[in-house]
């Protein structure tokens, strides 16, 4: 963690205890950072310092189900509308009226939807890795079931049945985390010889997702043993129910958000992804629609030879893009 002072907070927000890390001036413009799967506030460690030092009140949350935040016991408590409610409640708890919201991986759809539904609160939005994708006409699980064909499952389909992916994670959480972090990074994609379209996404029937993992011979520059230790510690005692419940709400989200399927995000926006970033590769059709779905888009950037963990693999470039975006506000 860079040498920038941070403070930890936990408050009751939207019916749960929400944990966040804060840095920067209390009277600075508010920026909320939302992590994805399987991460924590710590995935923003490089951005917290850069944004705080530039004068922004920077808040990185533990999404419900993660780290120091509450872990509700019902799957439906992890639906998208709950996450949007958490973010709105957090802005109020911080005594602010508006914020810029930034999300990565699952945090990106949470950020996109927060700005779509509450542009009065989230007056600018940046999404990393996962492009904005409004609710479509087809039930997501049906569409994803066809994506894998007869012999493979799309990874989100693979995550649907309780107990399946947990059986490969829980026996050795640290090793599984290292495997997924490295395997879908730019370094891992290149080490496996998969090429830009070969990031993990499909699981052969009867196999485990982790059967496709590659592990580093030596740790890459962007990920240290201490980083993996921190993440593993965040999941100590976790059964991964909350993190996986986010995937298990995709049909419920589709139903909840059907009335907003044709509502664009009009506030200023930024999209950043890696060249080898799986969600950006599979989401190319969504990216092609940005002129309609994100009319306030300022930039759409693909970082060469970068994988999925954009803000960790390429912190300096990501920080510069975020600071340029925020400066326009």
Rounded to the nearest 5°, which phi and psi values hold at 219? -65, 140
Return d(Cα 194, Cα 285) in angstroms, integer.
22
Q: What is the mean pLDDT of residues 172-184?
A: 97
Straight-line distance from the first to the last Cα atom of the chain, in angstroms, rounded to the nearest whole number: 27
- Of the candidates 98, 144, 12, 78, the one whose C-alpha atom is nearest the C-alpha of residue 329 is 98
Instruction: Say yes or no to pLDDT of 193 above 90.
Output: no
Instruction: Say yes or no to pLDDT of 86 above 70.
Output: yes
Q: What is the mean pLDDT of residues 165-174?
A: 98
Mean residue pLDDT across the chain: 95
By annotation, the residues acting in catalysis are: 105, 308
Residue 3: band (very low, low, confident or very high) from pLDDT cuts 50, 70, 90: low
26-35, 55-64, 121-130, 140-149, range with the lowest pLDDT: 140-149
Q: What is the mean pLDDT of residues 25-53?
A: 98
pLDDT score of 149: 77
Return d(Cα 57, Cα 73) in angstroms, integer.
32
Residue 168: band (very low, low, confident or very high) from pLDDT cuts 50, 70, 90: very high
Return d(Cα 186, Cα 223) in angstroms, integer.
12
Instruction: Say yes or no to pLDDT of 204 above 60.
Output: yes
pLDDT score of 80: 98
Residue 65: band (very low, low, confident or very high) from pLDDT cuts 50, 70, 90: very high
pLDDT score of 244: 98
With pLDDT > 70 as the criterion, what percentage of the chain qualifies?
Answer: 97
3-7, 27-31, 256-260, range with the lowest pLDDT: 3-7
Name the fold adopted by 7-327.
Rossmann fold (3.40.50)
Q: What is the mean pLDDT of residues 2-28?
A: 92
Burial 239-264 (b: 16+ CB within 10 A, else e): ebbbbbbbbbbbebbbebbeeeeeeb
Q: What is the mean pLDDT of residues 141-169?
A: 92
Instruction: Say yes or no to pLDDT of 297 above 90.
Output: yes
User: Who's near 158: CB < 8 A, 6+ residues apart?
Assistant: 164, 165, 203, 209
Instruction: Say yes or no to pLDDT of 94 above 60.
Output: yes
Instruction: Say yes or no to pLDDT of 196 above 70.
Output: no
3 state SS of 156:
helix
Q: What is the mean pLDDT of residues 181-197?
A: 87
pLDDT score of 150: 82
Instruction: Say yes or no to pLDDT of 1 above 60.
Output: no
């Amino acid at each position: 963690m860079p040498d920038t002072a941070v403070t930890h907070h936990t408050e009751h927000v939207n019916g749960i205890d929400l944990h966040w890390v804060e840095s920067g001036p209390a009277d600075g413009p508010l920026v909320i950072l939302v992590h994805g799967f399987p991460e924590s506030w710590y995935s923003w460690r490089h951005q917290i310092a850069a944004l705080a030092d530039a004068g922004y009140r920077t808040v990185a949350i533990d999404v419900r189900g993660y780290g120091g935040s509450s872990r509700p016991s019902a799957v439906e408590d992890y639906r998208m509308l709950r996450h949007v409610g958490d973010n709105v409640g957090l802005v109020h708890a911080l005594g602010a009226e508006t914020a810029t919201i930034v999300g990565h991986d699952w945090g990106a759809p949470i950020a996109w939807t927060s700005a779509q539904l509450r542009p009065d609160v989230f007056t600018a939005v940046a999404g990393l890795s996962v492009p904005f994708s409004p609710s479509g006409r087809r039930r997501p699980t049906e569409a994803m079931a066809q994506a894998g064909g007869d012999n493979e499952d799309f990874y989100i389909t693979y995550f649907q049945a309780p107990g399946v992916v947990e059986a490969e994670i829980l026996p050795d959480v640290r090793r599984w985390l290292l495997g997924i972090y490295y395997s879908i990074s730019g370094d891992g994609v290149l080490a496996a010889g998969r090429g830009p379209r070969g990031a993990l996404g499909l699981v052969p029937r009867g196999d485990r997702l982790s059967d496709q993992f590659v592990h580093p011979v030596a740790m890459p520059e962007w990920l240290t043993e201490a980083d993996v230790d921190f993440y593993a510690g965040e999941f100590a005692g976790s059964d991964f129910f909350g993190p996986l419940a986010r995937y298990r709400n995709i049909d419920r989200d589709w139903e909840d958000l059907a009335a907003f399927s044709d509502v664009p995000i009009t506030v200023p926006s930024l999209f950043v992804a890696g060249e080898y970033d799986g969600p950006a590769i599979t989401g190319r059709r969504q990216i092609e629609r940005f002129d309609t779905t994100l009319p306030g888009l300022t930039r759409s950037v693909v970082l060469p030879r970068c994988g999925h963990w954009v803000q960790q693999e390429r912190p300096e470039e990501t920080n510069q893009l975020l600071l340029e975006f925020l400066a326009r506000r």
